[in-house]
Amino acid sequence: MALQRPADLSGAADEVLALQAATLSDDAAYETLVRRHARRTLSMLRRFTRDPALAEELCQETFLRAWQKLPSFQGQGSFGGWLAAVAYNVFLQHRRRHAARDRVTDSLDGPDAGAGLADRQSSNGADTGAAELDRLLAVVSEDERVVLTLSYGAGLSATEIGAMLGVAPGTVKSQIHRAKDKIRRAFDIEAET
């Protein structure tokens, strides 16, 4: 993995940029990584938190934490997968800190609450993509939402998700399957033939 000159950064692989940022304290390399992964990371955290402002705050924290932990990124696996794990840990830490408040929030959750959020966003003309996703994820459990987000949102494999959550890949696959079944039933979607 040859290190890149600043002019080449936009085309450099994530792993090269991460190595460059870690070994040379290259801010430009890290900024390129932030630009490249901010969209997906923020989307993922929006799904976890269901609070856009909090998601943005945690997204910043994720990139800050990732910068501190960069030397531990050995280039095994994708940078995106590693960053998703950092983001998930930041989210978990936040949730633990605010456990009491989250319990209250969770009690308000459920299909109706999620649908309400989606309806509000739609009626306000807000992002319809977010609204549709809110509607879909409102019918699955918290664990299933996390797994679906890591799978479809972050593009991680069942093995990567399993390693991150400390469960077997088979468990991840069955959680995804169960979640998809719930969505299928809730929205009356015909199963594949």
Partner 1 sequence: MTGHDPVDTLLTRAFAADAAAGPPDRFAERVMARIRRRRRLRVVVLSAALGIGIAVTAAASASAIVEFGRWLGTLRLDGAVLDVAAALPAASASTWPAAFPAAAALLLGLLGWFVCLDEESGAL
- Residues in touch with partner 1 (CB under 8 A): 22-27, 30-31, 34-35, 38-40, 42-43, 46-47, 56, 59-60, 63-64, 67, 71, 127-130, 132-133, 136, 148-149, 151-153, 176, 180, 183-184, 189-192
- The CA-CA-CA angle for residues 182, 155, 175, to 5°, reads 30
| Smallest distance from partner 1 to CB 82, Å | 17
Query: By C-beta, is 99 or 190 nearer to partner 1?
Result: 190
Quick one: tokens of 161? Answer: 């998700």
For residue 148, give the amino acid letter.
L
Helices (H), the chain: 14-24, 27-49, 52-69, 79-97, 99-108, 111-123, 128-137, 142-148, 158-165, 169-186
Name the minimum Å distance from CB 80 to partner 1: 12
CA distance 70 to 83: 10
Distance CA 91, CA 49 (A): 8
In the complex, what is the shortest distance from the CB of residue 54 to partner 1, in angstroms, rounded to a whole number?
14
Are 189 and 135 contacting, i.e. CB atoms less than 8 angstroms apart? Answer: no
Nearer to partner 1, 74 or 101 (CB): 74
Instruction: Closer to partner 1 by CB, 101 or 187: give it.
Output: 187
For partner 1, the closer CB: 85 or 139: 139
As measured in angstroms, the least distance from the Cβ of 152 to partner 1 is: 4
**Least distance (Å) from partner 1 to the CB of residue 162?**
14
Q: What is the largest CA-CA distance in the chain?
A: 54
Query: Which CB, 113 or 130, lies closer to partner 1?
Result: 130
